[in-house]
Amino acid sequence: MLSCYDLNCFPLFDGVDEHALSLLARYADFKRFRAGETIFTEGEKTGALCLIKEGSVKVSRLIRGGESQNLGILEKGMYVGAVSLIDEKAHSASVIAVNDVVTVQIDCQGFRELAQTDPAAATKIMRAITASLCSYLRKMDAKFIDMVQYVAQAK
């Protein structure tokens, strides 16, 4: 069984109090994957947030012609699947273990149970996740603007 100490090492949960993390830990599980093993596939509906405790993962997405486009490598302390945890829809990318990986996974069912048990704790955790996603979105907006400006200058 996990404890709050297994979760507070993730930057995602910076500022979330011990009580909320202790409750969340009740709904979290360690999962291990060997190098090359698929953690989840684009289009799969797991509703799971996956925190990378050890190792690294490759995130990719299918593009036209069925080719796989590498979106990046995520390492210890990072996460994938937050949007699927929130909206309970299919994952938008595939995630594969680059090396042996240990994850902490929290699914939407467990998070819903936490929200019913302690709405205040669930709100603190959801705010942390939302703040992280907003930060990521702002970075992507800046990259998009840079790309548009680059294309405009090239014309």
25's enclosing H/E stretch is helix 18-25
The half-sphere exposure of 92 on its side-chain side, counting CA atoms within 13 A, is: 8
d(CA 56, CA 54): 7
Of the chain, the percentage scoring pLDDT greater than 90 comes to 79
Q: What is the mean pLDDT of residues 125-129?
A: 95
Residues 99-122 have pLDDT tens digits of 999 999 999 999 999 999 999 999
Give the SS3 label for residue 12. Answer: helix
Q: What's the pLDDT at 1?
A: 78
Q: What CATH superfamily classification does 4-154 receive?
A: Jelly Rolls (2.60.120.10)
Q: Look up residue 85 and give its two tokens.
A: 């945890």
Residues 29-62 have pLDDT tens digits of 999 999 999 999 999 999 899 999 999 999 999 9
What does the radius of gyration of the chain's CA atoms come to, in whole angstroms? 17
Mean pLDDT value across the chain: 93
